[in-house]
Structure 1
């Protein structure tokens, strides 16, 4: 990895406080409500052990979920990193290995896509897990 941080450049970062102070508070309420709904859409597919071997950690103010991978539940997957690689190759679902964020054994899934895409992504993750179950 040659890039450790992906974010706004220093000029944009300097402008952010002014932009944020001038933004209507109702925008933030609506945005936060939308994030809550998106998180719920994603997490609902992981509740009650619906996908054995995966445990979704509820986000607390983020635009992504961390999902714990129990590699012992899968026949041919040795760790979370390999899980993310195979998931991309087989199901075209891109998640980031938790090791990128000092969280080995997890993957990170961003839930900003529309509800239908989130639902399809969760279905693909489930199908992938079913195929690789130990």
Structure 2
């Protein structure tokens, strides 16, 4: 399964674009997603998953934590 999510980087401090978002998310929360710029969509992220629901919930919780820690 895949999902594309639009980022509003103006709401995130110290995040300049989708590449920066993905790099910092991987470094801080150990969650790997792809920047949308790889498929021509700047400031989108591409999430692909095939995991048990409990693992998916944990990963999404980490993304949420990351976003909260980088919000203005």
- Per the normalisation by structure 1, the TM-score is 0.52
CA RMSD, aligned part only?
A: 0.7
**Of the two, which has the highest radius of gyration?**
1
CA shift digits 1:63-104 (9 cap, x unpaired):
200011100011110111100000000000000010111111
CA distance in 1, matches of 2:40, 2:6: 13
Choose the corresponding residue for 2:25, options 63, 70, 87.
Answer: 87
2:41 corresponds to 1:133: no
CA distance in 2, matches of 1:67, 1:117: 19
Between the two proteins, the alignment pairs up a number of residues equal to: 72
By relative contact order (CA 8 Å, sep 6+), the higher-ranking structure is 2
Which 5+ residue runs of structure 1 have no aligned equivalent?
1-62
Q: Please name the residue that 1:64 is paired with.
A: 2
Which 5+ residue runs of structure 2 have no aligned equivalent?
none
CA distance in 2, matches of 1:79, 1:71: 6
